[in-house]
Chain A
Amino acid sequence: DTGVSQDPRHKITKRGQNVTFRCDPISEHNRLYWYRQTLGQGPEFLTYFQNEAQLEKSRLLSDRFSAERPKGSFSTLEIQRTEQGDSAMYLCASSESGNIYNEQFFGPGTRLTVL
C-alpha cells in the first residue's frame, strides 16, 4: 500500500501522560500536514512541513505540542502532559509541492482518548 499511514490507529492515555504519533507520507511527497478533528468539527490545521522544515504552525498548536520531520520523510507529533481536551482524531496528510491546488492525501488518523 503506497498511501499515507499513521500509527497507532487508537491511543488511550491518562491525563498528564505524554503521547507520540507517527505519520508516514506517500514516498514522493515532500509536504506533510497535521490536522486535528474534534467531535462535531471539521479537520483543523495544526502544522505543515516542506521536507524537514516546519513552515507553518497554527495557534491551536500549544506549547505542549511538538512536531518533527527530521529527515524529510516520516513525521512525529508529540503531546506532552495530555489534557482531556486533547481527545480528538489526529490526521496526517501529504502532497507534492508542485501540486498548485494543494490536493492533500490523508491517512486514516490516530484517535486519541485522554481519560
Chain B
Amino acid sequence: ILNVEQSPQSLHVQEGDSTNFTCSFPSSNFYALHWYRWETAKSPEALFVMTLNGDEKKKGRISATLNTKEGYSYLYIKGSQPEDSATYLCAFKNYGGSQGNLIFGKGTKLSVKP
C-alpha cells in the first residue's frame, strides 16, 4: 500500500511569518508529485507538478522543492498572508501504478491570522 504523509496536520501563523510543511512519499518508482491548495468552499487549485529530483518551483511567495531519493517535498510560503489560509495537499504518482489515480496525503491546514 502506497502511503503519502504530510506534516504538520495544522499550522497557525501570524501574518508576515514564513512557514513550510512537508510531504513524504515512497522513494521507489517515483513519477510525479503534485501540490494543491484547497480553500474552503472552493475547488482544489493546482500549484505545482514536480517531476525531477532537485526540482525547485516558485509561484509568487510560494515555492517547493523535491527530493526523490529520500522521498520528500517541502512547500514554503514566504511572508504569509490571510489569503494563504487553506489546506495544502500533496499527491503522488508512481511508475507502473494506476494510470488513473493520484495518491493524496491528508493535507496541512494553514491558518494565517492578521
User: Footprint of B on A, CB under 8 Å?
Assistant: 3-4, 31, 33, 35, 40-45, 47-48, 55-56, 58, 91, 101-109
Count residues of B near A (Cβ-Cβ below 8 Å): 27
Question: Smallest Cβ distance from A26 to chain B, in angstroms?
Answer: 11
Given A43-B89, A101-B32, A102-B32: A33 in contact with B101 (beta carbons within 8 A): yes
B42 to A, closest residue via Cβ = A108
Tell whether B62 is near chain A: CB-to-CB under 8 Å. Answer: no
Contacts of A44 in B (CB 8 A): 104
Pick from B4, B32, B43: contact of A107, CB under 8 Å: B43
Assembly CA distance A103 to B51 (angstroms): 12
Assembly CA distance A42 to B102 (angstroms): 11
Contacts of B49 in A (CB 8 A): 101, 103
User: A103 touching B34 by the CB < 8 A rule?
Assistant: yes
Tell whether B105 is near chain A: CB-to-CB under 8 Å. Answer: yes
User: A42 touching B100 by the CB < 8 A rule?
Assistant: no
Given A106-B36, A106-B44: A55 in contact with B104 (beta carbons within 8 A): no
Assembly CA distance A104 to B101 (angstroms): 9
Contacts of A103 in B (CB 8 A): 34, 46, 49
Contacts of B106 in A (CB 8 A): 40-42
User: A105 touching B101 by the CB < 8 A rule?
Assistant: no
Q: Give the contacts of B71-114 with A (CB-CB under 8 A).
A: 89, 91, 93, 98-107
Contacts of B36 in A (CB 8 A): 106
Contacts of B98 in A (CB 8 A): 45, 56
Given A91-B44, A101-B51, A108-B42: A45 in contact with B101 (beta carbons within 8 A): yes
